[in-house]
Amino acid sequence: AQKVTQAQTEISVVEKEDVTLDCVYETRDTTYYLFWYKQPPSGELVFLIRRNSFDEQNEISGRYSWNFQKSTSSFNFTITASQVVDSAVYFCALSGVRFGAGTRLTVKP
Amino acid sequence: EAGVTQFPSHSVIEKGQTVTLRCDPISGHDNLYWYRRVMGKEIKFLLHFVKESKQDESGMPNNRFLAERTGGTYSTLKVQPAELEDSGVYFCASSQYQLSEKLFFGSGTQLSVL
């Protein structure tokens, strides 16, 4: 069975703090894809990153970074020096079929 | 380029009534997906179209839900008759290729069944 767990329901930080959003997944597939999406107040989910199961290299994009570890079945997302505009609900997904429950991030000025 | 469009953005109906949700995917995207999110829960996959054919409808809750995609363009999701537990946000997404690619989402339809 496939499953995605985002244990953090809500996180609140002050601007410029670093914050990590956790994602743990379960799958029996050997080939799979992991995603992170951002849902701003406007409602639509916006794609952030895709990782395939054979690529464990961490990735950095500006203030965003992702840590993929197959050994712990985790795909965590870190925002460095958070900003108010980062406030949103963030979803982790497994191959587009299984989504986590989302983590609501609030960044306060 | 227009994104994925969903109509209506909100719908409030009474139990037993019928509601039809519409999704217009990005032009040229063969793959269209429906999802539902109940408040605070995960986004649950409902079904996947490839053009006009249903590729996977394993997530459809029951036979009160009917999805169609005539001509492989826009899609409709009809709930008849609606029940209280059908309330939630219904998202549509599209992609040029299949689930290994990133999805483009609409803003969702907030359905409230009273």
Q: How far apart are CA B28 and CA A94, in angstroms?
A: 24
Topology of domain A3-108 in CATH is Immunoglobulin-like (2.60.40)
Which residues are A75's β-sheet partners?
Answer: A68
Write the CATH number for B36: 2.60.40.10
Q: C-alpha angle with apex A86: A84 to A91, nearest 5 degrees?
A: 150
How many independent structural domains does chain B possess? Answer: 1
Classify strands B10-13 and B109-113 as parallel, antiparallel or unpaired: parallel
Note the residue count of chain B.
114
Q: How far apart are CA B103 and CA B22, in angstroms?
A: 18
Domain definitions of chain A by residue range? 3-108
Q: Which residue out of B99, B107, B110 would a mutagenesis test of the A interface target, given it has the greatest number of A Cβ atoms within 10 Å?
A: B99
Query: Coil, strand, or helix at residue B70?
Result: helix
A33: closest CA of chain B, how far (Å)? 6
B32-55 mean pLDDT: 93
Nearest CA to B114 among B21, B8, B10?
A: B10
B81: preceding bond cis by omega (within 30 degrees): yes
Q: C-alpha angle with apex A5: A104 to A103, nearest 5 degrees?
A: 5
For residue A6, give both structure tokens. Answer: 């985002």
Tens-digit pLDDT profile for residues A3-59: 999 999 999 999 999 999 999 999 999 999 999 999 998 889 999 999 999 988 888
**Structural domain containing residue B10:** 5-113
A73-97 mean pLDDT: 95
Partner residue opposite A47 with nearest CB, options B35, B103, B106: B103
B104-109 mean pLDDT: 95
Q: Which residue out of A38, A45, A92 would a mutagenesis test of the B interface target, given it has the greatest number of B Cβ atoms within 10 Å?
A: A45
Contact B42 A42 (CB under 8 A): no
Q: What pLDDT score does B70 carry? A: 86
Asked if residue A47 lies in contact with residue A35, where contact means CB atoms within 8 angstroms, the answer is: yes
Q: What pLDDT score does B1 carry? A: 64
In this predicted structure, the answer to whether residue A79 has a pLDDT above a threshold of 70 is yes
Q: What pLDDT score does A81 carry? A: 97
